[in-house]
């Protein structure tokens, strides 16, 4: 009966006033009544969906931090390759071995740098670098000492040249050897740096004797190389009044005649009966 009435209502017939209205049957819910959660909330709180959502999160892009160089001074950044490079390992690749820090490590983490710092390859490269720096430092020190020695030798040579020239002046002017010390003091006053060695009359006599031997040897070699020369021997008194026999050689030097003293020797007496052998002076 009810089915028929339902069909009649479909065709426009109305239900009688005496019949009560039917209550609608509620559809079953997909969630618990004791909670206020909705179906969407239940899906979002699912553990599997949360894991999947965490996997789908975008990864954080890491980059090189220049402040790392303060702790690791051997660290460099290659902008073209976008990687970190170890300067020590690149300098000694055979000691470093197989490491990412040769071509460029893109794992921008401080922990990665620390692991590389304690690796065997990095330690070997560091030791090679330290040994080379030590050799360079030692060579620089040796060069510095060598330079100091050369400078000291050069200064001593200049001082000796000044003293020899002063002794030559004393002998040339026939001054007493005591004058050497005063002449050296005068040069110091004029700003010449001179030490106190070879600055007395004994040293002056030694320097004059040294100069005399050198000049005589040079003159003998020159005389022996000449085809023509002449000798003259005569007596003369020196500055102190002592009679001496002097032998003078005359020769041509660069086309100009010059007179050179070959020898100067004291004699027992100066009269004509005295005998003197010239060869003892040459």
12 versus 138: the higher-pLDDT residue is: 138
Considering the domain boundaries, does residue 233 fall inside one? yes
Return the H-helix or E-strand segment holding 132: helix 120-172
Range of the domain at 187: 153-206
Q: What is the DSSP letter of 105?
A: B
Strand partners, 83: 78
Lowest mean pLDDT among 21-30, 58-67, 80-89, 166-175: 21-30
User: Is it the case that residue 8 has pLDDT exceeding 60?
Assistant: no
Q: How many domains does the chain have?
A: 3
Task: Supply the pLDDT for residue 33.
Answer: 47
Last residue of a domain, one of 144, 174, 206: 206
pTM for this prediction: 0.42
Considering the domain boundaries, does residue 35 fall inside one? no
- 210-264: pLDDT as tens digits: 888 888 888 888 888 888 889 888 877 776 777 888 888 899 988 899 998 887 7
Of 33, 56, 28, 53, give the one whose Cα is nearest residue 43. Answer: 53
Task: Supply the pLDDT for residue 32.
Answer: 46
- 110-163: pLDDT as tens digits: 888 888 888 888 988 888 888 887 777 666 666 666 666 777 778 888 888 899
The span from the CA of 35 to the CA of 243, in Å, is 146
Considering the domain boundaries, does residue 128 fall inside one? no
- 150-201: pLDDT as tens digits: 777 788 888 888 999 999 999 989 899 999 999 999 999 999 888 888 888 8
Strand partners, 249: 231, 260
Strand partners, 266: 244
Considering the domain boundaries, does residue 59 fall inside one? no
Considering the domain boundaries, does residue 27 fall inside one? no
Task: Supply the pLDDT for residue 22.
Answer: 54
Q: What is the DSSP letter of 10?
A: H
What are the residues whose beta carbons fall under 8 Å from the beta carbon of 192, sequence distance 6 or more?
Answer: 162
What are the residues whose beta carbons fall under 8 Å from the beta carbon of 258, sequence distance 6 or more?
Answer: 250, 251, 252
Task: Supply the pLDDT for residue 34.
Answer: 45
The span from the CA of 95 to the CA of 110, in Å, is 23
Considering the domain boundaries, does residue 271 fall inside one? yes
Q: In this structure, are residues 174 and 137 in contact, taking their beta carbons and an 8 Å threshold? A: no
């Amino acid at each position: 009966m009810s089915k028929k009435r339902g069909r009649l209502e479909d065709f426009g017939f109305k239900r009688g006033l005496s019949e009560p209205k039917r209550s609608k049957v509620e559809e079953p819910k997909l969630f618990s009544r004791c909670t206020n959660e909705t179906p969407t909330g239940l899906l979002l709180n699912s553990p599997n969906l949360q894991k999947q959502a965490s996997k789908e999160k975008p990864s954080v892009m890491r980059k090189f931090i220049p402040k790392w160089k303060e702790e690791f001074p051997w660290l460099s950044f290659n902008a073209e390759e976008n990687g970190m490079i170890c300067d020590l390992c690149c300098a000694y690749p055979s000691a470093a071995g197989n490491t990412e820090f040769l071509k460029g490590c893109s794992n921008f983490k401080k922990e990665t740098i620390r692991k590389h710092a304690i690796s065997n390859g990095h330690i070997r490269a560091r030791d090679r670098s330290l040994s080379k720096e030590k050799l360079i430092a030692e060579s620089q020190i040796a060069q510095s000492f060598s330079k100091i020695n050369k400078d000291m030798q050069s200064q001593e040579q200049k001082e000796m040249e000044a003293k020899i020239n002063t002794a030559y002046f004393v002998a040339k002017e026939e001054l007493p050897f005591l004058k050497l010390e005063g002449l050296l003091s005068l040069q110091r006053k004029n700003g010449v740096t001179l030490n106190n060695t070879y600055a007395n009359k004994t040293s002056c006599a030694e320097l004059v004797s040294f100069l005399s031997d050198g000049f005589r040897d040079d003159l003998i070699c020159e005389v022996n190389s000449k085809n023509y020369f002449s000798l003259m021997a005569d007596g003369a008194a020196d500055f102190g009044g002592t009679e001496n026999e002097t032998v003078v050689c005359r020769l041509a030097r660069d086309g100009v005649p010059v007179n050179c003293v070959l020898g100067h020797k004291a004699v027992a007496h100066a009269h004509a009966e005295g005998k003197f052998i010239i060869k003892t002076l040459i």
